[in-house]
Each structure stands twice: as structure tokens, then as C-alpha cells.
Copies of this chain bind each other. A is one copy, B any other.
Amino acid sequence: MSALYSRVAFVGLGLIASSMAHAIRRAGLAEQMSGTARSSETRAIAREIDLVDLVCDTAAEAVAGADLVVLCVPIGAMERIAQEIAPHLAEGATVTDVGSVKQAVIDAVAPHLPDHVQFIPGHPLAGTEHSGPRAGFAELFDNRWCILTPPEGHDPDALDRLTRFWQGMGANVDLMDAAHHDLVLAVTSHTPHLIAYTMVGVADDLRRVTDSEVIKYSAAGFRDFTRIAASDPTMWRDVFLTNKDATLEILGRFTEELFVLQRAIRQGDGALLHDYFTRTRAIRRGIIEAGQDTDAPDFGRIKT
């Protein structure tokens, strides 16, 4: 594939940005890449591993001359970054982001950008529990979805180019309204993460069940919660603070349902439990058929 952008600039060099850098190199999607990170340690690592062509000390330098700017910082830092880069953005550049909440990013970023750039927010649905510039790998987006939420009045050519860019990194691209994105993700990602964090916190607190027992016997179900509860704390704090309404709505539904099942346990209502567990089984089959998980025993985990 020929280069789609002459210079791609990353603001933030964590798991997503570093995976994008590897995927861009794999497919030759950019002639040059620049990047910056707030911490000098992160910038030093990026230089050491040659993550991008040019590691800059400031966001202003990194975005200068870039025709694609990718904001890869926690959502709480988006507004400050938008203010900082706005005067330095090239005429006709596209600005995008990879934040897990879209309406909050639009509110934080759009008002600060000049009219001569295109802002097309994005969210690649991919991740691991690892963070930082060394965590990235080129395959992270392969066969995963990237949701773009272009605003009204966007330039179709800019959207088309950004779509082909994500496809070049291996992703499937979908377009969605920002508010709908935030609700869908509250269901498929934000609330599950909060619940997993809670369950791991409970286990951690229990005095009669020692840490070592929780860990030793984790393969019985708990293990699957700990992976998602090991994700980056700053990123997730900002997700919950900025997707508050949708998350609280789904949490309310969750608590309601949990109380129904809790009462069924207390009252010994086996029929209700059995019906419920039968219904939830079907959705798993759909996920495997959609290629979003492996059907292999034990999740396809590598045997230790």
C-alpha cells in the first residue's frame, strides 16, 4: 500500500500509539512519523526503540507539518492538548483521536481547533492490559473494529482517507453517532470494566481468603476479571468520569438484574436461574461466529 499521509503525528506514546506506529510501518501507510509524550522517560524509551522517526519534546513541535494528528492521551488531557496544538496545525490536516468516549472528546477538542483542519474522532476497540511505548505490537488492530464518529459537515475525502488508514492497519471501520457510540461502549466495555474492577477489589479486601488462595485458584473464573481490571488506571478513571450518564444507566440496569438473581438464589428458585443461564449462553456463540473470539478450549491460552 502506498503512503496515505506524508507525516503522522502522535500526541501520547502509549499502547495504542505504539501499536499504530508498528502497524503503520508494517503497511507503509505514512512517509514519516513524529510523536511526543508528556513524560521525558516515555520519550527516551521511544527514541531508544526507534518507535517513530522523530520524537519531539513538545506537542507543538510534533504536530508541525503533519497531515494527520492522532491524539492518544487520556480523555482528561484532551482539552489541554487541543489548546496547545491548535496554533501549530497545518492547513488541511486531519485531527483524530483514540479515546474510549466520544462525546466528551468532541466537547473538549472541537471548540479549540481552527476551521482549516478536519476533526474526525475515532476509537479502535482493541487493547491489552499492558501500557506504555514498549507494549505496542503491529497486530493489535487486526480484525478488530475501529469506530469513527465524523461530525456533520465533515469532508468526505478526509473521512475516506482516515478509513483506508485504519483498514491498512488491519481494522474494520464503522461509522456511528457519538452518543450512540458512548452507549454501546458503556454496555460492551465500560460497565464490564467497572464490574471487573469491583470484583477484584472485593477479592483483594477479603481477609479470610488470602491473596495466595485467590491467585492460586483464579483459573475458575476470577482470572478473566483480573485482566480487564489491570488496564491503565488513568485512562479508565477518565472513561468513567466522561461517560458518566451512560455508565450509570447501564450500572443501574445491572444492579436491578443482579438483585433478581440474588433473590432467586436466596429463595432457591432454580427454574429462574436455569432459564437465565440458558439465555446468556446463546450470545457467546454469536461472538465466536463473528470472529471476535476463539472457540478453542481454555480461551486459546498458551499452555504454561
Interface residues of A (CB under 8 A from B): 76, 100, 125-130, 135, 137, 139-140, 142-145, 147, 174, 180, 183-185, 187-206, 208-209, 211, 213-231, 233-234, 236-238, 240-241, 244, 247-248, 250-251, 253-255, 257-258, 261-262, 264-266, 268, 270, 273-274, 276-281, 283-287, 290-294, 296-304
Beyond the given A188-B221, A218-B293, A226-B283, could you list 8 further A-B residue pairs with CB under 8 A, ordered by the A residue number?
A142-B303, A201-B257, A205-B253, A224-B227, A233-B281, A238-B270, A255-B255, A299-B301
Contacting A262 at CB < 8 Å: which of B128, B129, B142, B251? B251
Contacting A215 at CB < 8 Å: which of B130, B262, B274, B283? B283
- A93 CB to nearest chain B CB (Å): 28
Contacting A145 at CB < 8 Å: which of B206, B219, B222, B234? B219
Complex CA gap A300/B224 in Å reads 12
- A279 CB to nearest chain B CB (Å): 6
- A269 CB to nearest chain B CB (Å): 9
Question: Closest residue to A188 on the B side, CB-wise?
Answer: B222
B192 touches A287 (CB 8 A): no
Complex CA gap A76/B274 in Å reads 13
Complex CA gap A241/B266 in Å reads 8
Complex CA gap A233/B264 in Å reads 14
A187-B206, A297-B137 known; A201-B145 Cβ under 8 A: no
Contacting A125 at CB < 8 Å: which of B203, B220, B225, B228? B220
- A294 CB to nearest chain B CB (Å): 5
A202-B187, A229-B284, A277-B237 known; A261-B218 Cβ under 8 A: no
Complex CA gap A264/B194 in Å reads 12
A189-B222, A215-B283, A290-B216 known; A202-B257 Cβ under 8 A: yes
Interface centre among A100, A185, A189, A224 (most CB of B within 10 A): A224
Contacting A284 at CB < 8 Å: which of B127, B226, B253, B297? B226
A137 to chain B: which residues have CB within 8 Å? 297
A284 touches B230 (CB 8 A): yes
